[in-house]
Chain A
Amino acid sequence: MKLSAKDASLNSITTQVLKLFLLLATLTCLSACNVTHFEKNNAISLAQKGELTSARTAIKRHYSSQGKNRLLYHLELATYFQLEKDYQQSNKHLTHAKDLLESFYTVSLSETALSQFSGPTYTTFHGQKYYRPLLHVMKALNYNALAIAQPENRPALQDSALVEMRQLNLYLEALTDETGGYNPSVNDKLTNQIYAILKPILAPKALLSNIDYRDDAFAHYLSGVINEQNGELDSARLQYQRAASAYENGFAEQYQLPPDTTKQAYNNLARVMTKSGGYEIELERLKGKIDPQQQNHLSQLTVIQNIGVAPQRKQFNLVLTADHDSKALVMTPIPFGTHAERQAQIQWFQMLFADTSIFDMIQNYTMGDGSDVALGFVTKRLPLGGLWDNAKKVGLIDALQYGARISVTYLAPPKERIKSTEIWVNGQKHSQLHPFHSIELLTVQNALKNANTEIQLALTREIVKAISAQKLLQKTGLQQHEVFGSLAKFATSAVNAVTAAADTRQWQSLPAQIRVAQIPLPTGEHNIIIKTQLNSGRVINQTEQVNVSGQMSLWQTRTFIDAPPQSKSSTSSSIFNLD
């Protein structure tokens, strides 16, 4: 039956209106997908208010001990139990988490295949490389705290803390074997300086080349402290040596830590060398690097301040469409959220994906028209050229009629919110706490490093999903009908969009920054106050009576800077001392 010209025109207008409606609906759907998990973030908000039991309940509601997020279930609960001073429970969960991390060495092929047709959030969360050192450090601190609480089991518990440090050492040795670690530069100083100046100009993408997690100077340092505390001077010496070397040769620079970190590690190294004896030549070589005033035989108190909360991984969306004129696939970001979030999303896109390099601009100019060059700042074009016909043949171009959602993670740029942190001992200002580790920067750098792989995988996955859906529509014959065909295409695009969520999972209760100070004190009880001054002018005070005994005592505290001023968690919770 042939349609009249009037009917055909009406049908065409109806189809155009429907297409417009569907496109708007797709965009709305994409924006709606840009939400963060309420429960997960709620847990850390509750913890900041000091409601740790409720935080644990929120974690248990959100994650399962058997499900794909079982690693996070154990890691998050371990943190909250530690803050509640239930060190035994905390270690139980950390043991489970460590076993899981080891088991993830074997990659499941069935799960990898499944993720190609669903999304990364449908697969088991395997954690990040930097979780293991933090896990061992946390577990060792728990064992030390238990040793204080249970004097009858003290030797066995102290041995358990050392076992954790040995496992940490094995892990870091394997990591440095794999990555090369931090080593003194072989090039001369001037060459390095010139290279550092030219690098951003010559190859902006190369800026991402030195942000690997290569070794963990802070973990080495703390391992040295725990070994020294337990009289294992030889192990302590090795760990301090590794910490000093890593801080000096790049760790401090990579995570924007002050030079005090290197100096402190060398001071500790010199101290254990003096205690052990027989290192006169080595001590002579260290003379320029250490502070002679710190080389006394008083007991040492190491204060560890875990500040803030690691930055949240968030997701932002891009729409993948096919540009028939320039025969290219085009990715366009759809910023959503608050003004700051939208800005961060655009900056992340421009920094990592947008066609902002000279090569990209020339490519856009040669493949499209002048406007593509200008649009390069807000789009990423993948020119297909001769492959366009092949893409059409396999149904890719048709499958992208309503666009496909590509979802990737981003992190808001870190903000320095802490002005200073001071230690007051028995009413007198003693010294400053210096940043020894920035988990905030570590998280951001890790996300930057993985950004390209992530978007490539997301792109491949969404293209495979779109083509598969297209093939299915062809088989059902729905595609022949213009209106139903459009509806069916929209429906498949929407289903694909819903499953395209980015993987924003992470160990959320980690601190943003770890600050350390080591102060020589006579043995006995001391009143210690940590004053954290924020840039906003607010001062958070944390007080504790600390018993300094033996050669090395340790006091750890968590400071939540977003907690309401009257909240107990921002003032004195989660503090324990070890001696």
Chain B
Amino acid sequence: MKKPSNIIKLTPILIACSLVLTGCKTTEVRRVDANQEVALSDKWNGKDSQLVSEAMINDMLSFPWVRDHLTKEGTRPAIIIQSVRNKSHQHIAVDTFLNDLKRSILRSGQADFVASADLRGEIRNERKDQELNASLETQNEMGQEQGADYALSGTINSFVDEQGGSRVTFYQVDLRLIDMTTNREVWNGQKKIQKVQERSSYGF
């Protein structure tokens, strides 16, 4: 029987080679464009946030509510973000997504944003401080805030289908815009993202 003996002889060499190969891997850091997608897993990532926000805002601004508001009020509509709830199975930085949304709207120049309740409170405190400490010419008056015309809210949901090393993850973002005077839903947007992850059972 020659084979077992050869295997026994070769095994230590194979192990040594594998150890050398794995040992060669060192830490490496590269700078990449923030817009370039680096997907290491099927988790929600920065690119998803950016793509969804751009698609949503394009859709939102294509609806007639902006034109109707301009015709009726003569000013750009002001929007407040109420809440976007993460109902998915992944931890998603909702704030980052909301900031992407705001940037897309502000860049379009067709609507304004009103600060959130927390931020408004901080700014009011700052104005109170100005009343006491700033010169009259540079003071900002109280009671001159712009009220929001529309409220934006929504949810992020997900579904997962998994079999062995294959996993399909489906994210669905639903947003809606409500007219704060009439409670009319003037826009409802939906964006879906599907990702497939394949994992190998064995690796080197």
Kindly state whether residue B22 has any CB partner on chain A within 8 Å: yes
The answer to whether B86 and A159 touch across the interface, beta carbons within 8 angstroms, is: yes
Q: Which 8 A-B pairs have the closest CB atoms?
A: A110-B18, A166-B89, A106-B203, A159-B86, A113-B15, A107-B202, A167-B89, A105-B199
A155 to B82, CA, bound (A): 12
Q: Which A residues are closer than 8 A to B by beta carbons?
A: 105-110, 113-114, 116-117, 152, 155-156, 159-160, 162-163, 166-167, 169-170, 174, 390, 393-394, 464, 467-468, 471
Tell me the B178-204 residues at the A interface (CB within 8 Å): 199-204
The answer to whether B4 and A394 touch across the interface, beta carbons within 8 angstroms, is: yes
Given contacts A109-B18, A113-B18, A163-B91, 13 further A-B contacts (CB under 8 A): A105-B165, A107-B201, A109-B203, A113-B15, A152-B118, A156-B94, A159-B86, A159-B87, A167-B90, A174-B162, A394-B4, A467-B8, A471-B8
The answer to whether A155 and B83 touch across the interface, beta carbons within 8 angstroms, is: yes
The answer to whether B200 and A106 touch across the interface, beta carbons within 8 angstroms, is: yes
CB distance from A412 to the nearest CB of B (A): 35
The answer to whether B204 and A160 touch across the interface, beta carbons within 8 angstroms, is: no
CB distance from B160 to the nearest CB of A (A): 5
Contact of A110 among B1, B5, B90, B204 (CB under 8 A): B204
The answer to whether B11 and A105 touch across the interface, beta carbons within 8 angstroms, is: no
Q: Which B residues are closer than 8 A to A by beta carbons?
A: 1, 4-5, 8, 11-12, 14-15, 18-19, 21-22, 83, 85-91, 94, 118, 158, 160, 162, 165, 199-204
A166 to B85, CA, bound (A): 14
The answer to whether A117 and B11 touch across the interface, beta carbons within 8 angstroms, is: yes
Interface of B is mostly: mixed
CB distance from A129 to the nearest CB of B (A): 15
Answer whether A117 and B15 are a contact pair too, CB < 8 Å, given A105-B201, A170-B162, A471-B8: yes
Closest A residue to B4 using CB positions: A394
The answer to whether A163 and B88 touch across the interface, beta carbons within 8 angstroms, is: yes
Answer whether A114 and B19 are a contact pair too, CB < 8 Å, given A105-B199, A106-B201, A467-B8: yes
Closest B residue to A393 using CB positions: B1
B4 cross-chain contacts in A, Cβ below 8 A = 394
A109 to B15, CA, bound (A): 10
A110 to B160, CA, bound (A): 32
CB distance from A174 to the nearest CB of B (A): 6
The answer to whether B204 and A108 touch across the interface, beta carbons within 8 angstroms, is: yes
CB distance from A146 to the nearest CB of B (A): 13
Answer whether A108 and B19 are a contact pair too, CB < 8 Å, given A113-B14, A156-B94, A166-B88: no
Closest A residue to B90 using CB positions: A163
CB distance from A148 to the nearest CB of B (A): 19
Can you list 25 A-B pairs, Cβ within 8 angstroms, ordered by A?
A: A106-B201, A108-B204, A109-B203, A110-B15, A110-B21, A110-B22, A113-B14, A117-B12, A117-B15, A152-B118, A155-B85, A156-B86, A156-B94, A159-B86, A163-B86, A163-B89, A166-B88, A166-B89, A170-B160, A170-B162, A394-B5, A464-B8, A467-B8, A468-B12, A471-B8
CB distance from A461 to the nearest CB of B (A): 12
CB distance from B61 to the nearest CB of A (A): 27
B83 cross-chain contacts in A, Cβ below 8 A = 155
Contact of B11 among A106, A107, A113, A162 (CB under 8 A): A113
B11 cross-chain contacts in A, Cβ below 8 A = 113, 116-117
A390 cross-chain contacts in B, Cβ below 8 A = 1
A107 to B204, CA, bound (A): 8
B19 cross-chain contacts in A, Cβ below 8 A = 110, 114
A174 cross-chain contacts in B, Cβ below 8 A = 162
